[in-house]
Amino acid sequence: MLRQSTHIIKRSVPRTTIRIIPSRLSANTTFLLYGRPYSSATTHDFFPEATYMPSRTKDQKKQQQKQQQQQRQVSPLTKYDSITAGGSVHSDPHQRSIVKYLDRLWHDLQSYTPQTKATMSPSLVGSISKLFATPSRSKAPMSLYVYGNVGTGKTMVMDLFYDTLPIERKRRVHFHAFMLDVHARIHHIKKKYPNISNPISPLADDIVKESYVLCFDEFQVTDIADAMILRKLFTELFDRGVVLVTTSNRHPTELYKNGIQRQSFIPCIDLLMKKCDVLSLDSGTDYRKIEREQTAKPVFLHPNNAATQREIDRITRQLTHNKPLTPMTLHFLGRSLVIPEQADGVARVRFQDVCANALSAADYLEMVKHFHTIVLTDIPHMTMKHRAEARRFITLIDAMYESKTTLVASAENSMLDIFNADEGREAMDDEMRRMMDDLNVADISSPLFSGQEEAFAFQRALSRLIQMQSKDWVNKELL
């Protein structure tokens, strides 16, 4: 029988200079190390031939727990098959083919660690830290770009992927909100470092520190400022190993089509085509328009008459629990927005106030942060003469849809007839000709000038409006 012995070793010298003579030690020898704790030291470390096996370290236990947790995770494909079998979602072979790609990416990400890229940080710490940047542990998996017609389930399958992905550094965001955040961060960087020449690099560093898997819903580019930023930002993000999953109604080659200085955006499109598997989800079915169980009473009321007004007033009182409506001023991004009437998380606004005035996605996103229900009154019949108002209305609906905000509305026409892209072209043509002269553009048949963009965007908005009237969407107090 081996005798238990204890040897005391003083660590007055570096750990690499400690010398042990194996012949004088037994497999069950215990070491007491003076000095800085030798957390990983075991008998086996000093005496490899020993049959004694040390207990697992905390890191090993954590790794095993992580592996067990991953084994319990449900992958996107398994989840999709489960919910379609249960009948809560229609089984669609087109959707399932996309989910297979998402499932493959889901598994690839289990063992993926993004690379650390040395960049020209505006701070001294960043400049020093780049000297110690660690190399990439693995090559980034291919990103996914899913496009197709409205209502085909693009957002649903992306959310399935995001919700089942067992990593912490991930972000799912509507593309409007992402770009607003990007502009705000660039402003902050420039304010903090006035002489910085390239704010995109430190911006990309910050984004990757927070999330290396980015999921964008409704990826679209309509603004020249966004186009120029994205060209540089996506290059920096992909260089840092970011993985992108995005949905869009447009193929990458159709992004920012006929936009101002589009030629400068082409490198961004080429990069997307190189880094992403581009997948089409077009089943030919708009699931938002499939008959759903509607509310007992309609919440999109028309026409604008006394009866409609009385019903709007009744619904408002019901949702606000008869509390008096008061104004509220929202302060954000150095600006303010006045909501004329609100109470108990319900805002009541006129179409003229929020769609005829020069508001943007930032305003609408701020509104849905504060209110779970928006009562929008007096929606007019819109034609191409009202294309600016129609665009704002579409942006408002996008913001409400993304945040699952309830819409109660009164309109001049039914939702199917509130916008007509074939009317008002005479007034639009004069406006477009003036714009074409300013931009030196000769082709009026392009989507930018023909109204095709507005018609396409409104088709998406109409699909969402229909879904927003369903029983599983609206405020439960209205059921």
Share of the chain above pLDDT 70, in %: 72
pLDDT score, position 408: 97
pLDDT score, position 426: 62
Query: Is the peptide bond between 93 and the residue preceding it cis, with omega within 30 degrees of 0?
Result: no
pLDDT score, position 337: 96
Q: In angstroms, rounded to a whole number, what is the distance separating the alpha carbons of residues 28 and 3?
A: 8
Alpha helices in 109-141 (DSSP H): 124-129
pLDDT score, position 66: 60
pTM of the predicted protein model: 0.67
Reported confidence tier of residue 24, pLDDT bands at 50, 70, 90:
very low
Q: Which residues pair with 326 in a beta bridge?
A: 342
pLDDT score, position 261: 86
Q: Which of 178, 160, 164, 157 is nearest to 221 (CA)?
A: 178
Those residues with Cβ within 8 angstroms of residue 39's Cβ, 6 or more apart along the chain or in another chain: 57
Average pLDDT value for residue range 407-415: 95
Reported confidence tier of residue 67, pLDDT bands at 50, 70, 90:
low
Those residues with Cβ within 8 angstroms of residue 451's Cβ, 6 or more apart along the chain or in another chain: 384, 387, 421, 425, 428
Reported confidence tier of residue 232, pLDDT bands at 50, 70, 90:
very high
Structural contact between residues 424 and 391, judged by C-beta atoms closer than 8 angstroms: no
Residues 303-314 pLDDT 10s: 999 999 999 999
Asked if residue 28 has pLDDT above 50, the reply is no
